Each structure stands twice: as C-alpha cells, then as structure tokens.
Amino acid sequence: MNRMIQTWRWFGPNDPVSLQHIKQTGATGIVTALHQIPHGDVWTVDEINKRKAEVEAYGLTWDVVESITVHESIKTRSGNFQEYIDKYKQSIRNVAACGIKIITYNFMPVNDWTRTQLDYVMPDGSEALYFNWVDLAIFDIYILKRENAENSFPENIVTKAKERFATITEQRLQEIADTVMFGIPGEKKITVEWMRNALKAYDNIDRDALRSNLSYFLNEICPVADECGVQLAIHPDDPPFDILGLPRIVNSMEDYDFILSNAPYKSNGICFCTGSLGAKETNDLPEMVKKLDDKIYFIHLRNVRSDEEGNFFEADHLDGNTDMYAVMKELLLIHKKHNVSIPFRPDHGHQMLDDLGKVNNPGYSAIGRLRGLAELRGLEEGIIRSL
C-alpha cells in the first residue's frame, strides 16, 4: 500500500531551518516558493530551476509549490486583473516545465493566515500560535479603526475588547498589530495604512461576488494546468471565519462543492488543511475527506483546540478538535483506492526545547515540526498495518 510522501515547508535560503537540518528529519520532499518575487510577477524558468537546484543539492526533491500568490486585483476582478491572470498562467507553465506538478494557493482577501499571538505558553512550557477574538476586535476597532468594525463582532466580544483596551500597554498593542499583519515569511511586510486601502477595494464585494471572482479565475487557469499536467490545490481560509469585514469562501464542504462544480477540470483540487478546517466546529473532517476523495492533492496535518468563544491555540498534532486517527485512516483509504501517494507536511509546531528563544518563522521551528512528523509517521504506519 502506498504511503504518503513526507514533505517539509522551507522558506528559502534565509529560513532558520536549513536544508541540511530538514534532511535529518526524514522528510524527502520540500514545499517552498519564490517568496522574493513580488505578487503578480511571472516566475521565470531560471529562478525556478535555481531554487530547485538548491533543494536537490541536499538529495531532496521540490514536490509542491506553496504558493504562487494570487494578486489582489484577481480577487477583486478589478484594475489589470486579466494581465495578472495571464502572468499566473505563465508561471504555471514555467513551474510545469521544471517538473513540479502541484501548486498550492489561497483566495483569502487582503490578509493571509491570521493569529493574534505567536508565543501562547502551553502547560508544558512550549509556545504555540493563538487566535483570540477579543484581541482581533482590538486590532480591528482601535488599531485599524475600520468603519463600523464593532458590527462584525458579538456584543460580548466588543465589551471585552473595550475593557481590555482600557488597560492594554502600547507594547501589547504593537504586538497584536505585528502578529495580525505578519503575513508570509520572506515577503514584503504590510502596514495598517496598506491594509486600510486594500480593504476599500472590497466595499462592494460580498460572499457571492468573491465566489464569482474565484470561479472566473479557476476557469481561466485550469485549462492551462490541465494542459501542463499540474494539480492546483486551494488552501482553506485560516482561520475559517469572516474577519475584518471580509468574506471567507473556502472553509466548508459547501464551499468545496461550489469550487469543484463551478470549475470541473482535472487540475482543480484541494489542499486539505486539518488545522484550518478543524477550527470550525461544524466541519466533520473525516467525512469531508471521504467526500473530496481523489480531489485532495496535498495535505497539511496539524491540530487546534478551541474554547466556547471560538478562540483557539495550535495543539499537539495528535491532540485537539480533530480526530487525527480518523482523518489519517480516510486519507490512506484514498491512497489504497486510487493507488496514489499524496504529499503531506506536518503543519506548524510548537516552539520547544532548544528552539525556545531562537528566532524562527512563527509555527515553523524545527523541533516542534519534527515531533509532529514523527507522531504522524507512527500513526500512518500503525493504520497501514491494520488495514
């Protein structure tokens, strides 16, 4: 029976976790991107091959592109959006020409993954990423100062945000702002002013309009991906809720049904992220895996634990909201049924042991992810032997 392909996220030559260290984890594949290239610009064959050679010099393979970022003009279908779509098509062709066949991307408007704290202390002393609605309300209402931001939160969250803001330090305010706007390591940092301007472009874009824009984009690029033999794997919203007054349209089975049915191409598929999807209590992840079946092209495995208000921290990989055994079993049944080997990576990990105090990309320290990979590898082996 085929096993999953063990991969590791690497942010390029400036990543504190080197390729030499990754080699020692037992992972065989690398998940990376050309983060130095501005959003919307074409990835050239020369630049792709340069990065590929760096990876292969350590006996590793570049298995998944994560991500070719979708330009904001494409998401809003405004300005030079068609030009950016044409550039995206060329990047797909160039990636395929270099032998890489899986491209992950997301369609989150303005902000990518969002947390409010990067060093939430766990009972064992390790540190986790954390999302708290009150802190997000403080950012939205008092730092971003978005018009009518209070209307985006329940009354109890607005009240708690007002109370917390009354005693909060300037240092903590800056930490919240920096964390919410952290973005992808290696890419240009955004500012409050940039975010305010970017949000204005969505004044007249609701859920249906954003869905329509995604459908248009997919129907433009999927024929090119089909032609090149590339699998396109859309990553779910992280977190899987509307935030900052923006619609989020990739976080449920209903969303996936829309995405797959409105662009019925072979290339159109899913990056199944158990952490992002698991933060939404109505999502039944094992059942979603069953339904998505061979449309899952790439897998992120991590876990979160939520409280009654929907705040969540990133838990150990085998602990949290998601029954990782049940998810892994369904994924391996897909491997068996279709005779495939889907790449996965241990997504995020606690800052722990010798990594505590070191400068690392949030969630991407070495030891926490190595623990996750080891646990997931053992879980996979046990399930395979029982099938």
Q: What would the pLDDT profile of 254-307 be if each residue is shown by its tens digit?
A: 999 999 999 999 999 999 999 999 999 999 999 999 999 999 999 999 999 999
Distances (CA, A) of 323 to 160, 275, 316, 329: 32, 11, 12, 10
The verdict on whether 364 is a catalytic residue reads yes
CB 260 within 8 Å of CB 296: no
Task: Give the three-class secondary structure for 12.
Answer: coil
pLDDT value at residue 188: 79
Neighbouring residues of 378: CB distance < 8 A, sequence distance ≥ 6: none
Q: Is the pLDDT of residue 183 over 90?
A: no
Rounded to whole angstroms, the Cα distance separating 31 from 61 reads 9
Q: What is the pLDDT of residue 190?
A: 84
Of 98, 255, 300, 355, which is the active-site residue? 300
Per the annotation, the verdict on 348 as an active-site residue is yes
Q: Is 300 in the active site?
A: yes
Selection from 280, 284, 296, 300 nearest residue 338 by Cα: 296
Find the catalytic residue in 273, 316, 317, 335: 273
Q: What is the pLDDT, as a whole number, of residue 46?
A: 98
Catalytic residue among 84, 112, 235, 255: 235
- Neighbour tally for 363: CB within 10 Å: 22
Q: Give the integer Cα–Cα distance in Å for 350 and 366.
A: 9
pLDDT at 186 over 90: no
Go through the domains of the chain in sequence order and give each one's CATH number. Answer: 5-112+206-305+321-386 (3.20.20.150), 117-198 (no CATH)
Residue 35 sits at the vertex; the CA angle it makes with 31 and 39, to the nearest 5 degrees, is: 120
The pLDDT, as a whole number, for residue 189 is 82
Q: What is the pLDDT of residues 89-138, one digit of tens each?
A: 999 999 999 999 999 999 999 998 999 999 999 999 999 999 999 999 99
Q: Would you state the pLDDT for residue 146?
A: 95
pLDDT over 80 at 187, yes or no: no
Share of the chain above pLDDT 70, in %: 100
Full-model pTM: 0.97
Q: Indicate the pLDDT class of residue 184, thresholds 50, 70 and 90.
A: confident
The active-site residue, picked from 84, 105, 256, 364, is: 364
Write the Ramachandran bin of 283: left for phi over 0, alpha for psi from -120 to 50, otherwise beta. beta
Catalytic residue among 71, 317, 348, 350: 348
Mean pLDDT, the chain, rounded, equals 96
Exposure string over 268-305, b if 16+ CB within 10 A, otherwise e:
bbbbbbbbbbbbbeebebbebbeebeebbbbbbbbbbb
* Range with lowest mean pLDDT among 1-5, 141-145, 237-241, 347-351: 1-5
Q: Residue 366 is which amino acid?
A: A
Is residue 105 annotated as a catalytic residue, yes or no? no
- Residue 155 has a CB neighbour count (10 Å cut-off) of 8
Residue 236 is predicted with a pLDDT of 98
Mean pLDDT computed over 132-148: 97
